[in-house]
Structure 1
Amino acid sequence: MIRFARFTVHASAAVLFSLLCLLRPALAEPFDSTPRVAVISAFGPELDLLLGKLEQPHEYFANGVKFTTGVLQGKPVVLFLSGISMVNASMNTQLALDRFKITHILFSGIAGGVNPDLHIGDVTVAERWGQYLELLMARETAPGVYGSKGDGENADLPHFGMMYTRPVKVKSASQPQIHKKFWFDVDPAMFAVAKSLSGVELTACSAADHCLERQPQLVVGGNGVSGAAFVDNAKFRRYVFKAFHANVLDMESAACAMVAYSNGVPFIAFRSLSDLAGGGKEANEMHTFMNIAADNSAKVLLAFLQAWQAKGQP
């Protein structure tokens, strides 16, 4: 009787284990094994020019996201949209890393300009990215007076009212212990290639005859920041420039930079100014100059890939 009971228990356990294996979702299989450069944009118009230049295109789909593989400027690539926002950018960048053999990550898109020396249409290649809206909302202890920042993180950064920026807590392949980090540097080798670019012909007028007041320029260096907010406020723009010495702000790049850091994959971003984040004289300029900015960013990325290929980079 005891032996029979033991047999029944073991048999039941085996059946249960088999059922769990059947119910468990299968691990995602890689789409292909070719080493590829991931080229990401946030939304359609930013990626259109690059898709038009892609050779040998082939489409894959995962979680509703379309991934297009092919060859761009001699490089095997996979192009896809991150979607707008930090969460979408993080989620879909990791999805690409899980499905493809990604060697490098490049982002191309538009951004809001916060450096008063930059203008709409200019293309920036920041040297590092931070998540400036990772915040502590401080308690107001008196009208207009805010309490301490708790643990004093980033005490050297000016605050904006109750908003105190804090570093994120991350892990990485090379540093698996939780650690605090604000700035995520772009890859030094790719940044050096970006610094070598010259003579990239940038667009000043759109097909709708919207023309810029000056010829756009390529600016390599400085800081970029990202956060889950579309900024159209002159006062906040001045704060971001003063606090972070930022050239541009957007809603995706720093998220991609953090995912790249955690996975140990080199990253760089090309961002063109579509608006001045509230610093313009009239209404926000994004919808007027979005296509000019998107094309200019893509043109610099194409020039970068060509120069990168010519230097024999991996």
Structure 2
Amino acid sequence: MRFVLFVLALLAMPFAAHAGETSGKLDSQPRIAIISAFEPEWIALNRDVQDRREWIVNGVRFVGGTMKGRPVLLFLSGVSMVNAAMTTQLALDRFTIRSIVFSGVAGGLDPALDVGDVVVPDRWGQYLESAFARADGTGFAPPIQRATGENFANFGMIYPNGVRVRRTGDETGKDRRFWFEVDPGLLATARKLAPQVALSRCSGTLCFRATPKVVVGGNGISGPVFMDNAEFRQYAFQTFQAQVTDMETAAVGQVAYANKVPYIAFRALSDLAGGDPGENQAPAFYRIASDNTAKVVVAFIGAVEMPR
């Protein structure tokens, strides 16, 4: 009797509990991966998922299903560059991913943009992939030669640099780059779609200063810090000509580049990264900004051609 109960208990254990201990693909269905960094962004997107199925791998919940008739896989990357890189590679290893879409909030750098705008950059770079230089009496002396061809201006002791990348078909490690371009086809779909999506200006009594808009093009930068400094914001805009900054997308872009998987990112401005008129606005606006990003992403999924 005890043996029977033991066998029944084993059979009752959910598959997801063992997913982190197995190897190979968990699902053969080609899907569009939709990534968010934290809960409010995730909640907004989950409302539009049909035919749900879930897996848990290494503590990460993956939700499969359809969105606008397209097979999708939703998951949270967690906040930060390391979390984003780790969970994106995990998804690519365990699922059949044809393209990657990041949906979330971010800080605005471009003075022409305002809180609430949704930005879809052409490319993303890691602005703190850098050398911290020692003082030499008159300034700072970078300890290494920069090799990306960009030669970005330094911010005090911080000298931005590129990162060496290994990818399928190039294991030399000589490919050093700062920017990771988004997929041109996905970007073209976003550009065509942008004028058609009506974004919300208010949620209850909380309203953006102006009606938000979707802006396609330009640069995005990512780093492992929450930027809330007016001086660094000005430097970042002038140096990288960046419209937006976050803590994940460039890491996802690097993983996508290494695996030769197309990617794109949609980021709604929840704050101005230190340029806010008073205190940082993210605590007030990240929910409505997340909802607006989700509106654009859901419409994008309905419009994009499913890659084979």
Give the TM-score, by structure 2 length.
0.90
3-state DSSP class of the match of 1:236?
helix
**Which structure carries more strand by proportion?**
2
Indicate which of 98, 102, 117 corresponds to 1:103. 98
Residue 125 (structure 2) pairs with residue 130 (structure 1): yes
> What letter corresponds to residue 121 of structure 1 in structure 2?
G
Which string of whole-angstrom CA distances, capped at 9 and with x for unpartnered residues, describes residues 130-160 of structure 1?
Answer: 01111100110126x1014521335631110
Residue of structure 1 aligned with 2:147, choices 153, 162, 174: 153
Structure 1 gaps, min length 5? 1-24
Aligned mate of 1:201, from 192, 198, 202: 198
Match 2:53 to one of 51, 58, 63: 58
The 3-state SS of whatever aligns with 1:92 is helix
**What's the CA shift for 1:54?**
0.3
CA distance in 2, matches of 1:238, 1:149: 25
SS in 2 for 1:260: helix
Contact 1:193 1:304 in 2 (8 A): yes
1:272 to 2:268 alignment = yes
Question: 1:205 offset after TM fit, Å?
Answer: 1.1
Uncovered stretches (5+) of structure 2, i.e. residues with no partner: 1-19
Match of 1:259 in 2: 255
Structure 1 residue 175: Cα displacement: 2.2
**Closer, same or farther: CA 146–199 of 1 in aligned 2, 3 Å:** same
Post-superposition offset of 1:203 = 1.1
Aligned equivalents of 2:256 and 2:40: distance in 1? 24
Residues 147 and 176 of structure 2 are in contact (CA less than 8 Å); yes or no, is this contact kept in structure 1?
A: no
Structure 1 pair 161–73 and aligned structure 2 pair: CA distance change class (3 A): same
* 1:70 equivalenced with 2:59 (yes/no): no
Deviations 1:65-88 (A, max 9, x none): 000000011110110000000000
- Structure 2: how far apart are the matches of 1:160 and 1:301? 35
CA contact (8 A) 1:174 1:264 kept: no
- Runs of 4+ deviating beyond 3 Å: 152-155
SS in 2 for 1:84: coil
Q: Which has the larger radius of gyration?
A: 1
Q: Deviation per CA, 1:157-182: give whole Å up to 9, x if none.
A: 11100000110011111322212111
Contact 2:131 2:142 in 1 (8 A): no
Verify the 8 A CA contact 2:52 2:66 in the aligned structure 1.
yes
1:87 matched residue in structure 2: 82
| Cα deviations by residue, 1:108-144 (Å, 9 ceiling, x for unpaired) | 000000000000010000000001111100110126x
Structure 1 residue identity aligned to 2:43? D
Rate the CA distance shift 1:194–1:174 in 2: closer, same or farther, 3 A: farther
In structure 2, relative to structure 1, the CA distance for the partners of 1:50 and 1:152 (3 Å cut) is closer
Let me know the Cα RMSD of the aligned residues: 1.5
In the alignment, the residues of structure 2 paired with residue 234 and residue 146 of structure 1 have an alpha-carbon distance, to the nearest angstrom, of 22
Contact 2:116 2:208 in 1 (8 A): yes
Amino acid at match of 2:303: A
Letter of the structure 1 residue corresponding to residue 105 of structure 2: I
- In structure 2, C-alpha distance between the alignment counterparts of 1:89 and 1:134, rounded to whole Å: 16
Residue by residue over 1:26-73, the C-alpha shift from the partner in whole angstroms, topping out at 9 and shown as x without a partner, is 652321100011000000100112101100001100111000000011
Question: Matched residues in 2 for 1:221 and 1:175: separation?
Answer: 29
**Kept after mapping to 2: 8 A contact 1:149/1:164:** no
Residue 184 of structure 1 corresponds to 180
Rounded to whole Å, the distance in 1 between the matches of 2:43 and 2:78 is 14
Cα deviation 1:253-312 (Å, max 9, x = unaligned):
000000000011000000000000000110000010001111111111111112214xx7
The residue aligned with 1:284 is 280
The aligned amino acid for 1:255 is A
The DSSP-based 3-state class of the residue aligned with 1:176 is strand
| Identity %, equivalent residues | 48
Match of 2:236 in 1: 240
Rounded to whole Å, the distance in 1 between the matches of 2:239 and 2:303 is 34
Distance in structure 2 (CA, Å) of the matches to 1:55 and 1:124: 27
The equivalent residue for 1:7 is none
Q: CA–CA distance in 1 between the matches of 2:201 and 2:233? A: 24
Q: Structure 1 301/245 Cα, relative in aligned 2: closer, same or farther at 3 Å? A: same
Alignment of 1:6-17 (within 5 A): none
